[in-house]
Structure 1
Amino acid sequence: MEHSSKIYVAGHRGMAGSAITRKLREKGYNNIIAKTSKELDLRDQKAVHLFFETERPEYVFLAAAKVGGIVANNTYRGEFLYDNLIIEANVIHAAKLYDVKKLLFLGSSCIYPKLATQPMNEDALLTGSLEYTNEPYAIAKIAGIKLCESYYDQFGCNFIAAMPTNLYGPGDNYHLQNSHVVPALIRKFHEAKVNGTPVVEIWGSGRPLREFMYVDDLADGCVFLMLNYDQKQFINIGTGEEVSIMELASLVKEVVGFEGDIKMDATKPDGTPRKLMDSSRIKALGWRHQKSLAEGLKLTYDFFRSEDVRS
C-alpha cells in the first residue's frame, strides 16, 4: 500500500473508521475515499457496486457497522443482524468483483463464546454458545470473517479480518441507553458532577472483567496489519490487560472529578462474565498498543468536553 494508493474507509464517520482515517493521514496516505451513509447506503447492493465500479479503490478498510451496547443489541436484534450482514456482504463481494488488492474487515470480540477459555485466542471461534444479548451482532461478524476466509480460499482474494477488543475514544456514542460502557460512564459521571448528583448508579454487579483499547491504537493496528499481514486466519487486536467494571467506574470517576458515590444495580444484566483477548499473534508480528487505560480515558473525556458530543 503506497502513500498514493486509493484507499476506501467504509464507515469513516464511526469511532473506528474515523480513527483509521486519522491514522492513515498521519502516516502520509493522501488518497482516501470516504462516503457518508446518506451519500452511499451500504445496504443497497446496486449503489455499492456502482461506487466500486466508478471509484475503483485499491485497498478497503471495512469499519462500517450498526453498533451499540447491551441495551441496543438486545432491543434491535433483527436490525443488528440484517444491517451488518448485508453491509459486509455487499462491500466484500464488490471488493472481489472490482479487483480490490486487499481488504481488512473489522470484527468484534463478541464473536467468541460466552464462556470461552480466557484469554480468548483465535482458535476459540465457534467452540461454544454466544452471549445472548449480542448474539445477532456476533453472528453477523462471524459471517463476515467466514466470507473473507471463503473468498481467500476460493478466489485468492487477499481479504483479512481483525478482531478488536472493546474500544473507546473520540467519535464514540454517548447516548445513555444505546452506548457502550465507557462512554455511558463518562456521560453519567459528567452529568452527575455538573448537576451535583450525590450517587451514580451503574448496571450489574461490577464484577465482570473487560479489556479496553483506545481507538487510535486500534487504528494503528489495522494499518499495521494492512501493511504486514496476508493470512486467511483472522487476528485479534487487544492490549492484553483487563479491569473489572467497578475498577473502570472508579477510574472514570477520578478522571471526571466526580466526588459522590457509586451504586451498583445488581438486578441489571452483567453480560459476559469475562472478556480478555489473546493478542499474542499480532504482538509476535511486532505490534503493541501505546495508550494506557488512564491516558486514554483522560483523552476521551477531554474530547467529550471540548466537542459537546452528548446526544
Structure 2
Amino acid sequence: MSKRVVVTGGGGFIGAYLVKRLVRDGWQVAVVDSMVRGDASRFAEVASDVELFTCDVRDQDALEKAFAGAEVVMHLAAINGTQNFYTQPELVLEVGMLGALAVVNAGRNAGVPDLVVASTAEVYQTPSIIPTPETIPLMLPDSLNPRYSYGGGKIASELIAFNYGQEHYRQVQIFRPHNIYGPNMGWKHVEPQFILRALGCQERGDAVFPIQGDGTETRSFCYVDDCVDGIMTMYEKGGHREIYHIGSDVEMSIRELADRIGAIVGVELDVQPGESPAGQTKRRCPDITKMGKLGWSPQIALDDGLARTVAWYREHRNDVPANDLM
C-alpha cells in the first residue's frame, strides 16, 4: 500500500509541481489549500489522484483531519510574491507564523512522523557571504519595513518546526529555495513580470525597459523541476533537523536576466535603471554544496528553463489570475 503525504499549499507554484511529482512516484497524495493564493488547475492533470482539503492552513482542527494517516507533511503554504509583502504584510505574517504553529500541532496530534518545511532565501536579506552557506546568521534588518514580513515569518516558522515540535517528529527538515521559476508561477515575481513586459515591448515596437535598481543586483535562478527533484532528494537522503539550500549556484545580474528574456522573446531591450525599493537585496546566491553531497544539482540550463517559461506566458498572457494574490 502506498504511503500518504499531505502537501500544504499544493495549489501554489512549487506545491503543484511537487504534487504532480508525488503522484507520479506512487504516493497517496492529499492537498491542503484554501486557494486564497493557489489554483487547483495547476495540478488538474492528476486531480483524480489527489484528495483536496480546501481549508485554511491556520485551522488546526481541519488540519488534523487532513493529516490523519500521513507519513509526511510537506508544508509549503505561504503568501508569496514580492508585491504582496508590501501590500499584505498582516496576511503574510499570519499565514507564515500561525500556519506553522497549526501545522506542527496538527501533525503532532495526528501522529505524523515526518515534517518538511519550506523556508526561503529571504531569511538572509543581506547575506555576509556569497555564495551563502546554510550556516550564516539569519537577518531581519528593519522591522518597520513590510518587505520583511515574509522573511520574518519564515524565520519564525523555522524556529517553530525545529524547536516547538522537536520532541514529536521522527524527522524534521527545512529547505530554503532560491528564486525558483517556471511556467505558471504566478504574476507577481520578477521573471513573469519581465516576460510580460518584454512581450509588450515586442508588440509595441518600443524596446524601452525600465527596471528597479541599476541592474547590477544579482540573483541565481533555479527551474521548478530541479527544485522538486531537490525536495525529494532531501527527504529521501537528508538528515533529521537539517537545513538545505535548493537553488542554482550561478550568480547573474538582473540586467543580464532582462537581456536573456528579451533575446528569447525576440526583442533587444533598452534596459533603463531606476530607483531601488527599500529593502532591496544587492546580491543573492546559495552555496549548494550540502545538497551536492546528497547527489543533487540543478540540471535545467537557465536559457532552456526561461524558454519554457516564456512560451507559457506568451500563450497565457491574457489569462485572468485565479485570485488577486497570484
Regarding TM over 0.5, the answer is: yes
1:128 deviates by 7.0
Structure 1 unmatched runs, 5+: none
1:297 pairs with 2:306? yes
Question: Residue 135 of structure 2 aligns to which amino acid in structure 1?
Answer: D
Q: Does the 8 Å contact 2:140/2:148 carry over to 1? A: no
Q: 1:243 to 1:270 in 2, by over 3 A?
A: farther
Q: 1:259 to 1:120 in 2, by over 3 A?
A: closer
Residue of structure 1 in register with 2:189 after alignment: 180
Residue of structure 2 in register with 1:43 after alignment: 58
Q: 1:80 to 1:270 in 2, by over 3 A?
A: closer
Separation in structure 1 between the aligned mates of residue 87 and residue 117 of structure 2, nearest angstrom: 25
Q: Which moved more, 1:287-296 or 1:148-157?
A: 148-157
1:33 pairs with 2:42? no
Separation in structure 1 between the aligned mates of residue 272 and residue 311 of structure 2, nearest angstrom: 25
1:124 pairs with 2:133? no
- Give the secondary structure class of the aligned counterpart of 2:180: strand
Q: Does the 8 Å contact 1:158/1:230 carry over to 2? A: yes
Q: 1:105 to 1:130 in 2, by over 3 A?
A: farther
- The one of 242, 261, 267 equivalent to 1:252 is 261
Q: 1:95 to 1:213 in 2, by over 3 A?
A: same
- Residues 118-157 of structure 1 aligned to structure 2 (within 5 Å): 118-126=130-138, 129=141, 132=145, 134-151=147-164, 153-157=166-170
Residue of structure 1 in register with 2:124 after alignment: 112
Question: Residue 282 of structure 1 aligns to which amino acid in structure 2?
Answer: M
Residue of structure 2 in register with 1:101 after alignment: 113
Question: Residue 137 of structure 2 aligns to which amino acid in structure 1?
Answer: L
Q: 1:267 to 1:68 in 2, by over 3 A?
A: closer
Question: Residue 254 of structure 2 aligns to which amino acid in structure 1?
Answer: I
Residue of structure 1 in register with 2:47 after alignment: none
Separation in structure 2 between the aligned mates of residue 134 and residue 127 of structure 1, nearest angstrom: 13
Which deviations, in whole Å up to 9, do the C-alpha atoms of 1:19-39 show, x marking residues without a partner? Answer: 11122233x224111244152
Residue of structure 1 in register with 2:220 after alignment: 211
Residue of structure 2 in register with 1:13 after alignment: 11
Q: 1:94 to 1:267 in 2, by over 3 A?
A: closer
Q: Does the 8 Å contact 1:205/1:270 carry over to 2? A: no
1:230 deviates by 2.5
1:15 deviates by 0.8
Residue of structure 2 in register with 1:276 after alignment: 285
Separation in structure 2 between the aligned mates of residue 161 and residue 146 of structure 1, nearest angstrom: 11
Residue of structure 1 in register with 2:2 after alignment: 4
Q: Does the 8 Å contact 2:86/2:146 carry over to 1? A: yes
What is the number of residues matched between the two proteins? 301
Residue of structure 1 in register with 2:73 after alignment: 60
Percent identical across equivalent pairs?
26
Separation in structure 2 between the aligned mates of residue 17 and residue 305 of structure 1, nearest angstrom: 23
1:263 pairs with 2:272? yes
Q: 1:104 to 1:242 in 2, by over 3 A?
A: same
Question: Residue 117 of structure 1 aligns to which amino acid in structure 2?
Answer: I
Question: Residue 8 of structure 2 aligns to which amino acid in structure 1?
Answer: A
Residue of structure 2 in register with 1:165 after alignment: 178
Q: 1:88 to 1:274 in 2, by over 3 A?
A: same
Q: Does the 8 Å contact 2:113/2:169 carry over to 1? A: no
- Give the secondary structure class of the aligned counterpart of 1:274: coil
- The one of 278, 287, 300 equivalent to 2:296 is 287
TM-score (ref. length: structure 2): 0.85
Question: Residue 67 of structure 1 aligns to which amino acid in structure 2?
Answer: N
Q: Does the 8 Å contact 1:84/1:141 carry over to 2? A: yes
Separation in structure 2 between the aligned mates of residue 226 and residue 130 of structure 1, nearest angstrom: 34
1:56 deviates by 2.5
Q: Does the 8 Å contact 1:113/1:125 carry over to 2? A: no
TM-score (ref. length: structure 1): 0.89
Question: Residue 41 of structure 1 aligns to which amino acid in structure 2?
Answer: D
Separation in structure 1 between the aligned mates of residue 216 and residue 223 of structure 2, nearest angstrom: 22
Structure 2 unmatched runs, 5+: 36-53, 322-326
Q: Does the 8 Å contact 1:60/1:102 carry over to 2? A: yes
1:220 pairs with 2:229? yes
1:82 pairs with 2:94? yes
